[in-house]
Amino acid sequence: MASPLTLGLDADDTLWENQARFDTAQAKLRDLLSPWVEGGVVDETLLNIERNNVKLYGYGVKSFTLSSIQAAVELTNGEITADLTTSIIESGWWIIEHPVEILPEVAETLKILSGDYQLLLITKGDPADQYKKINASGLSHYFMGIEVVQEKDPDTYIELLERHTVEVKDFVMVGNSVPSDVLPILSIQGRAIHIPHHSTWGHEQVDESVAASFNFPVIETFSQLPDILATFSEN
């Protein structure tokens, strides 16, 4: 008899809305810096700074806010004012305090999935921010375990699976990020399902030609999970 599948689920932009809040804050940053540079320059500069700062600050709103201030200093040649800095900080506060918005059909589908599979929530970011969202979501009772990690790479997944005594052949990861939720799992001979989100942070994007060289299913809505997972269970 085959072992029951354990389903790993990403949180941000898989279970609830997240990137849209950062997009709004970034649009405000473009407006604030418009007297100095065009919006495209702001976006490119901020993304490069964020990528460099991930190793220092990790993921999440605190890293975004500090990176935004750094971008403003660079792009204004040090002319950033106290008011401008305060506006950037307030954008960070706004993201943190924004209510959790569960994505369509997630709660109903989790109820179905929890009856057939072991569910493991795997998200990366600042632990304080992530646990605040998890607790506010009202979804935590569906999961046998909740993991907030610094990075989603092969070594992290291997360590998590060993700690939860789950064999990789019995594990399926689901999420909106190909670099974080799909490719690392495929590299350790696991399985993954991609659910694209309408907005994806540049750091979590991957060239289409790279994604096309791997074989993994892509579904449009969270509610399609039970049907596609049923085919996984048959294999």
CATH number at residue 42: 1.10.150.240
3-state SS class at 79: coil
State pLDDT tens for residues 116-131.
999 999 999 889 999 9
Nearest to 105 by CA among 182, 205, 219: 219
Identify the band that residue 88 occupies on the pLDDT scale cut at 50, 70 and 90.
Answer: very high
Identify the band that residue 91 occupies on the pLDDT scale cut at 50, 70 and 90.
Answer: very high
Domain that includes residue 42, residue range:
19-97
Shared domain check, 59 and 115: no
CB within 8 Å of 151: residues ≥ 6 apart: 124
Q: What is the mean pLDDT of residues 184-210?
A: 81
Shared domain check, 93 and 119: no
Nearest to 61 by CA among 12, 102, 110: 12
Domain closes at, from 36, 66, 97: 97
Question: Which of the pair, 234 or 186, is modelled with greater confidence?
Answer: 186
Question: Which of the pair, 2 or 206, is modelled with greater confidence?
Answer: 206
Q: What is the mean pLDDT of residues 131-145?
A: 96
The reply to whether 150 falls in a domain is yes
CA distance 73 to 71: 5
Residue 200 belongs to domain with CATH number: 3.40.50.1000
State pLDDT tens for residues 170-189.
999 999 999 999 999 999 99
Alpha helices in 126-213 (DSSP H): 127-137, 154-163, 183-187, 208-212
State the pTM of this model: 0.90
Q: What is the mean pLDDT of residues 52-71?
A: 92
Is residue 1 over pLDDT 60? no
Identify the band that residue 159 occupies on the pLDDT scale cut at 50, 70 and 90.
Answer: very high
Nearest to 98 by CA among 17, 172, 4, 156: 17
The reply to whether 149 falls in a domain is yes
Domain closes at, from 97, 119, 146: 97
Q: How much is the pLDDT for 112?
A: 96
**For the chain, what is the domain count?**
2
Q: How much is the pLDDT for 198?
A: 83
The reply to whether 144 falls in a domain is yes
Measure the CA angle with vertex 140, ends 139 and 144; round to 5°.
130
Shared domain check, 208 and 116: yes
DSSP 8-class letter at 181: I
Shared domain check, 139 and 48: no
Per mean pLDDT, which range of 2-16, 35-49, 75-89, 152-166 is the poorest? Answer: 2-16
The reply to whether 1 falls in a domain is no
